[in-house]
Structure 1
Amino acid sequence: MKENKAWSINGFVGLLIMLGFIALATFSLINGIVILGLISILIAVTCMASFTVVQPNQSKVITFFGKYVGSIRNDGFWMTVPFSFHRKVSLRVRNFNSVKLKVNDIEGNPIEIAAVVVFRVTDSAKALFEVEKYEVFVEIQSETALRHVASKYPYDRFEGTGYSLRGNAEEVAAELGDELQKRLQVAGVEVIETRLTHLAYATEIASAMLQRQQASAIISAREKIVEGAVTMVQMAITRIESEGIVQLDEERKAAMINNLMVAIVSDRSAQPIINTSTIY
């Protein structure tokens, strides 16, 4: 099933044709030409049964005794196949907001996720005849695709590299849109945009996962601090030795390195200790 253009002419032209046959029928009956009058009336009634109005961003799907004969996309007043059935299909851009779905990510952690899907109908014939109700079809397929994509990634990456739902929301949304487009192609629907609107751990594990995130953040921060401290101590020792400020043996060098590391890495401000001696 594929959309094609239905036969149609301007409705006002068809209206003039209908009025002309009505006038001809009236003239024929008055002058006793019964057969011509009856034929003219029949043609006028046929014309009357072929008018339709198409609103902007709307399509009229024309079926004639159960057979699809085409669609009218241009808005306005039209005359088309007489005694046909006209079903309207909206071509406007629409949003679908999914409910909060409870899904297990790839690591088995229960999460809550929701998305918004922006779509529109591009093929009115497929939308009406390939699926039962395309609006319901879009909703069900959107939630199915969201569950499938969410189960392929972890909520967050604590170790290693790779995509995560929280850290790569743009990439995950793009993949969701691609998968959803493949699912909705049969219904003649184009996916314009997909976005994640809600992402969180399920309430039963939210507290534990928050502690895990905090611990991971502390470890990462400590690693950065230690890495920077080592670099700073190395630079300090190298500069002292190169400029000949003081000669350090291995024991004093180790003591200075220890003091500098403690001063840099410690959470609290360093407390200087002044070594003084009394001269008699």
Structure 2
Amino acid sequence: MLPGWAALLLMLASAVGAEMLLGRAAMLPWWLPGPEAAFPAERITAARLAVLPVCIGLFALAGLMANSGGEARVLACWGNYRGTVRKAGLVWVNPMLRRRRVDVRIRHWRSDPVDAADRDGAPIRVSLLVVWRVRDTARAVLSVLDHEDYLREQVHAVLSRTAATLPCDRFDGPGLSLRDGQWFGDELTRALAAEAAPVGLEVYSVQPLSLEYGPEVADSMRRRRVADLDADLRTVIVDDAVEAAKLAVRRLEHATGQELDRHARNALMERLLVAFVAPAGVPGAPTRRDGREGRRR
């Protein structure tokens, strides 16, 4: 590889030399023929000699290459790797070498919804955002047919393996699930980086953008998830109501200076729970009528 200005100087020198030789052979109309132009042998010799600088100039022109920033050129000859040009600007390389352009900037790819299945076998659809770049240009160009297609295929494979390790939602209690975006993204990043490294690709992050069930089970899973959230909400409401009732009883005893017996405390707790829980519509909560019937008995 040579600087571009060196090739330009060589082209200029070749053009001047060819023009001088052709002028001496009286083959250029703007040149005055020299005394040797009257001899055909000298004219033929000068014309033959002019072929050499013309070929040199064409060879220099064929090797010129403008390399923009953020790009690299992989050089190969008969399938053998000969180097990589990363310098931006005008450069000259051997025109006999094959030059393949590679984008080495940091890039991001947003996938279409990818079909997979969670640990329970429920079909899911996930959209991912992959941030990556080409780290080793030689491997990216020579080890696979198309490194971008390879990356897309590996995204699908890694997603299928990772999604099969956990359920999409936890209906049986607390624990990790695919809804945990931080864990899911870290696992996808680690797995995809390991698969992309052998072909010279560097993966910075893989983040799930959307996670939903497949259309065939989406309605049933949505109803199940809403029911689970509703049950959790009711549990929280009841727990908060019990704590508030206990606090109210303790404050009442402290304010009156008298300690209620067990039956009086239970009756007061029941009334407070009715006041706290019944407006929230929690099934199974005691009503005011039930409390009155209990007192009559």
Q: Which of the numbers 33, 47, 72 marks the counterpart of 1:59? A: 72
The alignment partner of 2:102 has SS state of strand
In 2, distance between residues paired with 1:271 and 1:107? 45
In the TM superposition, 1:233-252 aligns within 5 A as 233-244=245-256, 248-252=260-264
CA contact (8 A) 1:226 1:265 kept: yes
Q: Which of the numbers 87, 90, 95 marks the counterpart of 2:103? A: 90
Q: CA RMSD in A?
A: 2.9
The alignment partner of 1:106 has SS state of coil
Task: Indicate the larger mover: 9-18 or 247-256.
Answer: 247-256
The alignment partner of 2:216 has SS state of helix
Specify the alignment match of 2:9 in structure 1.
Answer: 16
Specify the alignment match of 1:162 in structure 2.
Answer: 175
CA contact (8 A) 2:140 2:147 kept: yes
Deviation at 1:245, TM superposition (A): 5.2
Structure with more helix by fraction: 2
Deviation at 1:264, TM superposition (A): 1.9
Assess, with a 3 A threshold, how the Cα gap between structure 1 residues 267 and 116 changes in structure 2: closer, same or farther. Answer: same
Assess, with a 3 A threshold, how the Cα gap between structure 1 residues 243 and 99 changes in structure 2: closer, same or farther. Answer: closer
Normalised to the residue count of structure 2, the TM-score between the two structures is 0.77
Unaligned segments of structure 2, at least 5 residues: 25-35, 37-41, 282-286, 293-297
Q: Which of the numbers 209, 215, 235 marks the counterpart of 1:223? A: 235
Deviation at 1:268, TM superposition (A): 5.8
CA contact (8 A) 2:274 2:288 kept: no
Specify the alignment match of 1:3 in structure 2.
Answer: none
Q: Identity of aligned pairs, percent?
A: 28
CA contact (8 A) 1:46 1:83 kept: no
Specify the alignment match of 1:277 in structure 2.
Answer: none
CA contact (8 A) 1:96 1:139 kept: no
In 2, distance between residues paired with 1:216 and 1:193? 32
Assess, with a 3 A threshold, how the Cα gap between structure 1 residues 172 and 36 changes in structure 2: closer, same or farther. Answer: same
Task: Indicate the larger mover: 117-126 or 241-250.
Answer: 241-250
Deviation at 1:45, TM superposition (A): 4.1
Normalised to the residue count of structure 1, the TM-score between the two structures is 0.81
In 1, distance between residues paired with 2:129 and 2:247? 53
CA contact (8 A) 1:98 1:143 kept: no
Alignment deviations for residues 60-101 of structure 1 (CA, whole Å, 9 cap, x no partner): 111234322111112211112242222211223433332322
In the TM superposition, 1:24-35 aligns within 5 A as 24=17, 27=20, 30=24
Assess, with a 3 A threshold, how the Cα gap between structure 1 residues 209 and 50 changes in structure 2: closer, same or farther. Answer: same
Amino acid at match of 1:240: L
Assess, with a 3 A threshold, how the Cα gap between structure 1 residues 70 and 243 changes in structure 2: closer, same or farther. Answer: same
Q: Which of the numbers 109, 117, 139 marks the counterpart of 2:152? A: 139
In 2, distance between residues paired with 1:214 and 1:86? 58
Amino acid at match of 2:123: P
- Find out whether 1:204 has 2:213 as its counterpart: no
Deviation at 1:27, TM superposition (A): 4.7
